[in-house]
Amino acid sequence: MLRLLGYALMAAACMALLVMLLAASSSGITTLSSYIYGGITLRASAYRGQSLLMLFEPQHFFPAMGSTHVEGFTSALDVELRHTQRVTLELVLFSPTSANLTQPAPVTSVLLENLTLRDLSCYMFDRRTYRSRVEPLLDMAAGDWFAYDLLERALGLAASEVKGVADPAGGYRVTLQVGNETVALCALGFDASSAHVVFSNGTRTPPEVFFASLRSAAIQPGVSRPPPYLTLNVELRAYLLFKPTAMQVVRALALLAAGAVLVALDVLLTGSPPFLFLHKLRRILRRRGT
Amino acid sequence: MRRWFRLRVRASRLATYSSFVAETLGGGLTAAAAVLSALAFLFALFLAPAGAPFSGLFALLFLTNVGYSAIALSGASAMVSDLRGSAQVFLSQPLSRTIYALAWLVALLASMIAVFSALLLSLAVIDPGLLGTLSLGTALAWLLDSALLSLLLLAAALLLRRTSVLVITWAAVEFGVSLLFFSEQLAQAVVVLRPLYGVLSRGGAVDTPVLAGSALLAAALLALLYWLARARLEV
């Protein structure tokens, strides 16, 4: 009976060592992953000159991300933005007249066509810095499409910046390693110089006119909830990356040794051959051989 | 003194014969337990870090439980084959009928303990802190659940001696009873037979009276197995 336990422990240890060897020889093993594809909620957005800057928090879509405390595991996030020219914004059209104040604000979608994606960058912040210094700036900028400077100031507080790599198809891709105390904020930069703005009722307008009207009393996006919602070809993939630590390897070796000791003990006590359980396999092989 | 000597001889025979069952007669119990233990590490690696508070651990316990149930079915089927074949040889002296039946049970329970130990130690290899997420009650529920299935399958093997009936019994316990957990009232009626499902369906909360009921049921099934061994294994 001891050898049954011994072989079970040895099998688990061998599997552990094999997986650890594979993980150590590559850039790690991906264990859990979840995807989001399509639309994302923006944290803040701003327009200046011909440029459109849109910020989103990728961790907002994966609340459990960065919360793992298991040894050897780190949270990673792939942000992939496909080549996109059309962006749909869900905006709240809000006229602050006395009559409308009591009524719910109507939501409309605005299609921005012929946009050019210029860059994708992700910024990493320490959680405490983010809460105390970045979030207040983002909240101030949330309802103001001309608060470009505020957003730039917020991004300037980042501990590190990861630039997206352009792919031949015209998209961008970036991989982030997110720790327990890290907050990521990604920024999409668009060139809106040749964009067209199309309202859901079919009305077309040049971008500068649209953004100028955003400042007027007629349209004030982000004044009330929901915040601007962006539909574009973005793919977010969060996963756990396993890279073995030295202690894990030591523990796996100890498990292997414990199993081997149990098997050896059983062999010594019973005197039966150690691989007796393979006799059926051997018999089948012998039959096939003859 | 004589009684002690007799008990020692019986225990020695039980150990020897159950080893023989595990390694040769039992349809590859040792090999199957080793394979499942290796898989348990993979399950642990991929599932243990998942979710809060520990939904990954639930999936891990469920998968290893299902894996062990397949081993128990294969072991009980091997017992049916043995009863139809060479068992008569072993059931002549000095192996008694009860020791014969108990040896199969010991072999199955040993493979169950081996799989569960490998699971626990796999968690310890990944991160010893993971062991803290598994409560004693949940561990007991896993062990009782698997032991009840083993006892039930061996009792069915002794009573009916047909592999097809064993498969039906296994499917009824493994899937039929599990389906009853969708109804709250029916679940209360069958939770004693599947204490692990009871724990999983309650989000990890352990119901001590249910565990006590399962232990009593296991004792009753053991008594039934003993009686069946004496009544049905004539040489």
Residue B114 burial class via C-beta count within 10 angstroms: exposed 0-12, middle 13-18, buried 19 and up: buried
Q: How many of the other CB atoms lie within 10 Å of CB of A44?
A: 27
Domain that holds residue B121: 10-232
Structure tokens at A102: 């009591």
d(CA B122, CA B129) in angstroms, rounded, equals 12
Question: Which of B12, B17, B20, B37 is most worth mutating to test chain A (most A CB atoms within 10 A of its CB)?
Answer: B37
Residue by residue, DSSP assigns A113-171 as ES-EEEEEEEEEEEHHHIIIIIHHHHHHHTT-TT-HHHHHHHHHT-SEEEEPEE-TTS-
Q: How many of the other CB atoms lie within 10 Å of CB of A170?
A: 13
Specify if B4 maps to a domain. no
Residues of A in contact with B122 (CB under 8 A): 12, 16
Q: How many residues does chain A have?
A: 290
Q: Could you tell me which residue, A215 or B116, shows the higher pLDDT?
A: B116
Residues of B in contact with A32 (CB under 8 A): 46, 49-50
d(CA B30, CA B78) in angstroms, rounded, equals 13
> Any residues with CB less than 8 A from the CB of B196 and at least 6 apart, and which?
B61, B62, B65, B138, B141, B142, B144, B145, B146
> Cβ of B22 and A277 within 8 Å?
yes
Name the residue in chain B with its Cα closest to that of A62.
B51
| B128/chain A closest Cα distance in angstroms | 9
> Cβ of A5 and B18 within 8 Å?
no
pTM above 0.80, yes or no: no
d(CA A242, CA A254) in angstroms, rounded, equals 20
Q: Could you tell me which residue, B28 or A56, shows the higher pLDDT?
A: A56
| A16/chain B closest Cα distance in angstroms | 7
Query: Residue A38 pLDDT > 70, yes or no?
Result: yes
Q: What is the mean pLDDT of residues B66-88?
A: 84
Instruction: Please tell me whether residue B57 adopts helix, strand or coil conformation.
Output: helix
Question: Which of B20, B45, B115, B119 is most worth mutating to test chain A (most A CB atoms within 10 A of its CB)?
Answer: B45
Please tell me the predicted confidence (pLDDT) of residue B176. Answer: 83
Lowest-confidence pick of A214-228, B185-199, B200-214: A214-228
> Cβ of B46 and A31 within 8 Å?
yes
pLDDT band at A93 (very low <50, low <70, confident <90, very high): low
- Asked if A267 and A3 touch (Cβ cutoff 8 Å), the reply is yes
| A61/chain B closest Cα distance in angstroms | 15
pLDDT band at A216 (very low <50, low <70, confident <90, very high): low
Residues of B in contact with A11 (CB under 8 A): 34-35, 37-38, 118
> Cβ of A67 and B52 within 8 Å?
yes
Please tell me the predicted confidence (pLDDT) of residue B54. Answer: 55
Residue with tokens 């049970």: B105
- Asked if B164 and B86 touch (Cβ cutoff 8 Å), the reply is no
Specify if B217 maps to a domain. yes
What is the end-to-end Cα distance of chain A in Å, rounded?
33
Query: Residue A221 pLDDT > 70, yes or no?
Result: no
d(CA A154, CA A144) in angstroms, rounded, equals 15
Please tell me the predicted confidence (pLDDT) of residue A96. Answer: 44
| A35/chain B closest Cα distance in angstroms | 15
Instruction: Please tell me whether residue A17 adopts helix, strand or coil conformation.
Output: helix
Residues A58/A64/A65/A70 CA torsion (nearest 10 deg): 180
- Asked if A53 and A142 touch (Cβ cutoff 8 Å), the reply is no
Instruction: Please tell me whether residue B230 adopts helix, strand or coil conformation.
Output: helix
Query: Residue A100 pLDDT > 50, yes or no?
Result: no
Q: What is the mean pLDDT of residues B26-50?
A: 84
Lowest-confidence pick of A85-94, A161-170, A185-194: A85-94
Residues A187/A189/A195/A201 CA torsion (nearest 10 deg): 0
Say whether residue A252 is in contact with chain B using an 8 A CB cutoff. yes
pLDDT band at A222 (very low <50, low <70, confident <90, very high): very low
Structure tokens at B233: 């294994």
**What is the CA A24 to chain-centroid distance, rounded?**
23
- Asked if A235 and A80 touch (Cβ cutoff 8 Å), the reply is yes
Q: Could you tell me which residue, B180 or A121, shows the higher pLDDT?
A: A121
* Model confidence pLDDT, tens digit, residues B199-220: 887 777 778 888 899 999 999 9
Say whether residue A5 is in contact with chain B using an 8 A CB cutoff. yes
> Cβ of A9 and B46 within 8 Å?
no
Total number of domains constituting chain B = 1
Q: Which residues pair with A79 in a beta bridge?
A: A174, A236
Question: What percentage of residues in chain B have a pLDDT greater than 70?
Answer: 91
Q: Could you tell me which residue, A177 or A246, shows the higher pLDDT?
A: A246
Query: Residue B15 pLDDT > 60, yes or no?
Result: yes
Q: Could you tell me which residue, A109 or A257, shows the higher pLDDT?
A: A257
Closest CA to B215 of B159, B137, B102: B137
ipTM of the shown complex: 0.88
Say whether residue B88 is in contact with chain A using an 8 A CB cutoff. no
Residues of A in contact with B39 (CB under 8 A): 15
Please tell me the predicted confidence (pLDDT) of residue B188. Answer: 77
HEC-encoded secondary structure of B92-133: CCCCCHHHHHHHHHHHHHHHHHHHHHHHHHHHHHHCHHHHHH
Instruction: Please tell me whether residue B152 adopts helix, strand or coil conformation.
Output: helix
Question: What percentage of residues in chain B have a pLDDT greater than 90?
Answer: 26
- Asked if B37 and A8 touch (Cβ cutoff 8 Å), the reply is yes
Of B49, B106, B124, the CB nearest to A251: B124
> Cβ of B49 and A280 within 8 Å?
no
Closest CA to B19 of A103, A114, A134, A266: A266
Parallel/antiparallel/unpaired status of strands A182-191 and A87-92: unpaired
| Rounded (5°) CA angle B62-B38-B103 | 80
Of B16, B45, B117, the CB nearest to A5: B117
Lowest-confidence pick of A71-85, A227-241, B86-100: B86-100
**Alpha helices, H only, chain A:** 2-25, 98-101, 127-129, 135-141, 148-156, 207-215, 246-270, 279-289
